[in-house]
Amino acid sequence: MKIAVIGTGYVGLVTGTCFSETGNDVTCVDIDLAKVEKLSSGQITIYEPGLEKIFLRNQKEGRLHFTTSLQEAVAAAQIIFLALPTPPGEDGSADLSYILKVAAELGKLIQPSDYKVIIDKSTVPVGTAAKVRAMILSTATQSIDQSFDVVSNPEFLREGVAVEDFMRPDRVVIGTESEKAIKIMNDLYAPFVRQGNPIIFMDEKSAELTKYAANSFLAVKISFMNEIAQLCERLGADVDMVRRGIGSDERIGKRFLFPGIGYGGSCFPKDVQALAKSAQEVNYNFSILDAVMEVNQRQKLHLVPKIASYFNNNLAGKHFALWGLAFKPNTDDIREAPAFEIIRALTAQGATVSAFDPEAMSNSKHVLGDSIQYASSQYEALENADALIIATEWSEFRTPDFEKMSNIIKNKVIFDGRNLFDLEQMNNLGYYYESIGRKTIGSL
Ligand X SMILES: NC(=O)c1ccc[n+]([C@@H]2O[C@H](COP(=O)([O-])OP(=O)(O)OC[C@H]3O[C@@H](n4cnc5c(N)ncnc54)[C@H](O)[C@@H]3O)[C@@H](O)[C@H]2O)c1
Catalytic residue ranges: 267
Residue 325 binds to ligand X (criterion: CB under 6 A):
no
Smallest gap from Cβ 46 to ligand X, in A, equals 7
Smallest gap from Cβ 201 to ligand X, in A, equals 20
Report the residue from 4, 51, 103, 157 that binds ligand X according to the rule CB under 6 A.
Answer: 157
Give the residue among 222, 253, 226, 223 at the shortest CA–CA distance from 239: 226
Report the residue from 9, 107, 262, 329 that binds ligand X according to the rule CB under 6 A.
Answer: 9
- Nearest CB to ligand X, comparing residues 35 and 302: 35
- Nearest CB to ligand X, comparing residues 211 and 302: 211
Buried b (16+ CB within 10 A) or exposed e, 233-261: beeebebbebbeebbeeeeeeeebbbbbb
* Pair 412, 432: CB distance under 8 Å: yes
CA distance 402 to 405: 5
- Nearest CB to ligand X, comparing residues 12 and 175: 12
- Nearest CB to ligand X, comparing residues 272 and 322: 272
* Pair 48, 331: CB distance under 8 Å: yes
Smallest gap from Cβ 31 to ligand X, in A, equals 4
CA distance 19 to 172: 14
Smallest gap from Cβ 20 to ligand X, in A, equals 17
- Nearest CB to ligand X, comparing residues 102 and 144: 102
- Nearest CB to ligand X, comparing residues 9 and 175: 9
Residue 8 binds to ligand X (criterion: CB under 6 A):
yes
Smallest gap from Cβ 338 to ligand X, in A, equals 17
Task: Give the interface segment with ligand X, choosing from 4-12, 200-208, 244-252, 348-356 (CB under 6 A).
Answer: 4-12
Residue 83 binds to ligand X (criterion: CB under 6 A):
yes
Binding to ligand X in span 359-418, by CB under 6 A: none
Q: Which residue is nearest to ligand X (CB)?
A: 9
Give the residue among 211, 170, 419 at the shortest CA–CA distance from 303: 419
DSSP string, 36-85: HHHHHTT--SS--TTHHHHHHHHHHTT-EEEES-HHHHHHH-SEEEE---
- Nearest CB to ligand X, comparing residues 84 and 345: 84
Q: What are phi and psi of 441, to 5 degrees?
A: -100, 135
* Contact string (CB under 6 A) for ligand X, positions 27-46, x = contact: --xxxx--x-----------
Q: What are the residues whose beta carbons fall under 8 Å from the beta carbon of 62, sequence distance 6 or more?
A: none
Binding to ligand X in span 85-124, by CB under 6 A: 85-86, 98, 101-102, 122-123
Rounded to 10°, the helix 51-60/10-21 angle is 60
# chain residues binding ligand X, by CB under 6 A? 26
CA distances from 24 to 30, 51, 62, 153, 195 (A): 19, 17, 10, 18, 20
Quote the DSSP letter at residue 349: T
Report the residue from 3, 5, 6, 388 that binds ligand X according to the rule CB under 6 A.
Answer: 6
Residue 12 binds to ligand X (criterion: CB under 6 A):
yes
Q: Which helix (H) or strand (E) holds 173?
A: strand 172-175
Q: Any bridge partners for residue 27, and if so which?
A: 4, 65
Task: Give the interface segment with ligand X, choosing from 155-163, 173-181, 389-397, 413-421 (CB under 6 A).
Answer: 155-163
Task: Give the interface segment with ligand X, choosing from 151-159, 165-173, 407-415, 432-440 (CB under 6 A).
Answer: 151-159
Binding to ligand X in span 238-267, by CB under 6 A: 266-267
Report the residue from 21, 149, 159, 204 that binds ligand X according to the rule CB under 6 A.
Answer: 159
- Nearest CB to ligand X, comparing residues 9 and 358: 9
CA distances from 289 to 124, 222, 257, 338, 376 (A): 17, 12, 18, 19, 39
* Pair 441, 424: CB distance under 8 Å: no
Smallest gap from Cβ 374 to ligand X, in A, equals 23
Q: In what order do the strands lie in the sheet with 352-356?
A: 373-374, 352-356, 319-323, 387-390, 413-416, 432-434
Task: Give the interface segment with ligand X, choosing from 10-18, 138-146, 368-376, 385-393 (CB under 6 A).
Answer: 10-18
Buried b (16+ CB within 10 A) or exposed e, 267-288: bbbbbbbbbbbbbbeeeeebeb
* Pair 96, 248: CB distance under 8 Å: no
Give the interface with ligand X as residue ranges (CB under 6 A).
Answer: 6-12, 29-32, 35, 83-86, 98, 101-102, 122-123, 155, 157, 159, 266-267
